[in-house]
Amino acid sequence: MAVLCKPAIEVPEYVITNEETLELARRLHGDHPQLELALRLIEHTGVQKRHLIQPIEKVLQHPGLDDRSATYEAHTKARVPAVVRRALDHAELEPQQIDMIVYVSCTGFMMPPPTAWLIDTMGFRPETRQLPIAQLGCAAGGAAINRAHDFCTAYPEANALVVACEFCSLCYQPTDLGVGSLLSNGLFGDGIAAAVIRGNGGTGVRLERNGSYIIPGTEEWISYAVRSTGFHFQLDKRVPGTMEPLAPALQAVAEQHQWNASKMDFYIIHAGGPRILDDLSLFLDVPPEAFRFSRATLTEYGNIASAVVLDALARMFDEASALEGHRGLMAGFGPGITAEIALGTWTSESEV
């Protein structure tokens, strides 16, 4: 079975702390009628700092969609290759051994996709399949793992590379003044992650089953309004309560595999915010400590969208707490409202 190897992570060099975010909100929105509510929400995110590809002063300028698109492409090409190389090193593979690249990003747009550029410049074979995913938001990290798993199931000897590149700061919109937008300005950060799914051998999570679920009637709860100024993020206030209907969906996928989602040895969950993790802990009946990897990502990097699940997984590798045969559940949540769910078992088997 396919094995998800240790991810590689990179966050950019510019840092903004939560205290700086709060002070910035006070300075920019001092006359906002709901400022105090927004400040309380930002304070309770649990985010201590976030990383940005540009200084905050430049982010606030918003020079227009043309400039932002050029910035997205330039930083993608400058930053992604090093992360990809580290992910390949973790999996002990070379670019020529990769059969498919799944590339996910919801914070910028390129066509041809970045997969074509990577194949052309990093030594991947011209026959390498491409699967760019642009519209699943934060759920795309889970979707990327699942689509790579599907590919390796269809082609058991194949290897797939997953890349998540998110520059959320390029979606800042100074004219969006709703409480949800102000909260997002204090929650999202920039980050890049990559990981290899090996069809044969490797150390990591042996992927065994995956599934998807959409909560009916929630299509507009997480969305983009695409305007001449770029992507305007829209967040419904009901989103934090979505774990109550999603927890049974996670349980259902586990039950299909004759597992119990409440009795896993490890959990890799998208950290959309503290309420998401708190509620999922409640509805799955698991201790809060079970989500420590996701909470650490949220605290140190903020919500880095599709890259969260890969960063949380990398933290589990670093902790070295998983033992042979340990069972785990991974899940990403995003627009739709969509859940992408995966089950797997820790393995350290050598190549066979």
Give Cβ neighbours of residue 63 (< 8 Å, ≥ 6 apart).
none
Count of Cβ atoms closer than 10 Å to residue 142 Cβ: 30
DSSP string, 229-277: TEEEEEE-TTGGGGHHHHHHHHHHHHHHTT--TTS-SEEEE--S-HHHH
What is the rounded radius of gyration, in angstroms, for the C-alpha atoms of the chain? 19
Give how far Cα 252 sits from Cα of 211, 256, 277, 345, Å.
9, 6, 19, 18
Give the span between the Cα atoms of 46 and 179, in whole angstroms: 17
Q: Are strands 100-104 and 129-133 parallel, antiparallel or unpaired?
A: parallel
Q: Residue 278 has which token pair?
A: 């708190």
Catalytic status, residue 138 = yes
At 272, phi and psi to the nearest 5? -70, -25
Count of Cβ atoms closer than 10 Å to residue 13 Cβ: 10
Q: Are strands 338-347 and 204-214 parallel, antiparallel or unpaired?
A: antiparallel
Give the span between the Cα atoms of 171 and 270, in whole angstroms: 20
Catalytically annotated residue among 138, 152, 168, 171: 138
Question: Which residues are known to be catalytic?
Answer: 138
